[in-house]
Amino acid sequence: MQEAGMREKLVKIIEAYEELQNKMGDPAVLADQKEYNRLAKEYANQGPLAKKAAEYVQAADDLAEAKEMLSDAEMKEFAQEEIARIEGILPALEEDIKFMLIPADPADDKDIIVEIRAAAGGDEAAIFAGDLYKMYERFAGSQGWKTETMDVSPSEAGGYKEIQFKVKGDKVYSVMKFESGVHRVQRVPKTESQGRIHTSTATVAVLPEADEVEVEINENDLRIDVYRAGGPGGQCVNTTDSAVRITHLPSGLVVQSQDQKSQLQNKIAAMAVLRARLYEKMLAEQQAAEGAERLAQIGSGDRSEKIRTYNGPQDRVTDHRIGYNGTYNGVLLGDSLGDVITALQAADRAQKLEAAV
């Protein structure tokens, strides 16, 4: 980035930051709590960039001043020392600013709804889906996040045909968004008497939770059906029509919930999933409009893409997007899942930086 052009761009960022501060002091804004909170959040988010921009602008101005001193014989030695010092710090400042200028994912701060479904592999796929759920539950606990089960379809062999759960905490989506896709396991199932290795898959969808303001849903666009919840038998089968299935007619999306205690709670849970899916669809359309290069990034979240293989006999987990290898038990037990995600985040930042330059 050219030094003069960089300085001009950063001056505008500093001015916009100062304008935000002035707006927050406007009596009309102070009287509107919602608008004030919005501006305060934006002001806080822009603070680190504005501070770094001010450092760069000051250094660039000091460099220009030092270069002017070169013509003064008495100041020449001092000027040369200043030029060397400033030219030594400018590249690092510029690199930091480039990272800060990468557009943030608007959903990064959000809580999430995770959907895990057994795919190919029969009973073993359902057991694997259960293992993935336990992995995420342990990982969430290690992060200080809270999990809340929304809907469950258990398998008689163990695990789940499908499970939906919420994860609440600090910037959950920014960490978990890389988990969307097809997960494959290669191992000897407990039910396998011949010791043969089976391959099974499960799909994971990580949806940023949306509120009613972000996604408006017209009640007239919904078809709501109630039915008796199913289960593996015994006390797990409801005797009332408490399960809810909601069809969003314009998009064709269908969501359901049967694991809550009442029909109202099931409707609330199903609506939360519907809003999350519609919000995800809206984000995907926005990203597609930004250009094809965005779709090639690490966090594309394509659920049809095989993203990771868990190989039991070789004690290895491979993330195919970046070629990262971890240990089978370390990742599946949730202890070293964070290492995989950290590597994915680093690769994603590197790709975004390359695209921004």
What pLDDT, on the 0 to 100 scale, is given for residue 166? 92
Domain ranges of the chain: 3-101, 112-352
Query: Which pLDDT does position 292 carry in this prediction?
Result: 46
- Neighbouring residues of 150: CB distance < 8 A, sequence distance ≥ 6: 113, 164, 165, 166, 257, 259, 260, 269, 272, 273
Per DSSP, the three-state class of 166 is: strand
Q: What is the dihedral of CA 331, 337, 343, 344, to 10 degrees?
A: 110
pLDDT tens for residues 57-88?
Answer: 999 999 999 999 999 888 999 999 999 999 99
For the domain covering 112-352, report its CATH number.
Answer: 3.30.70.1660
Residue 96 is predicted with a pLDDT of 86
Contact 136, 217 (CB under 8 A): no
pLDDT under 70 in the chain at which residues?
Answer: 1-4, 191, 193, 211-214, 229-240, 286-304, 355-357
Q: Of all helices (H) and strands (E), which one includes residue 208?
A: strand 198-208
d(CA 219, CA 225): 13
pTM of the model: 0.67
Helix (H) / strand (E) element for 114: namely strand 112-118
What pLDDT score does 21 carry? Answer: 92
Provide the pLDDT for residue 236: 46
CB 251 within 8 A of CB 278: yes
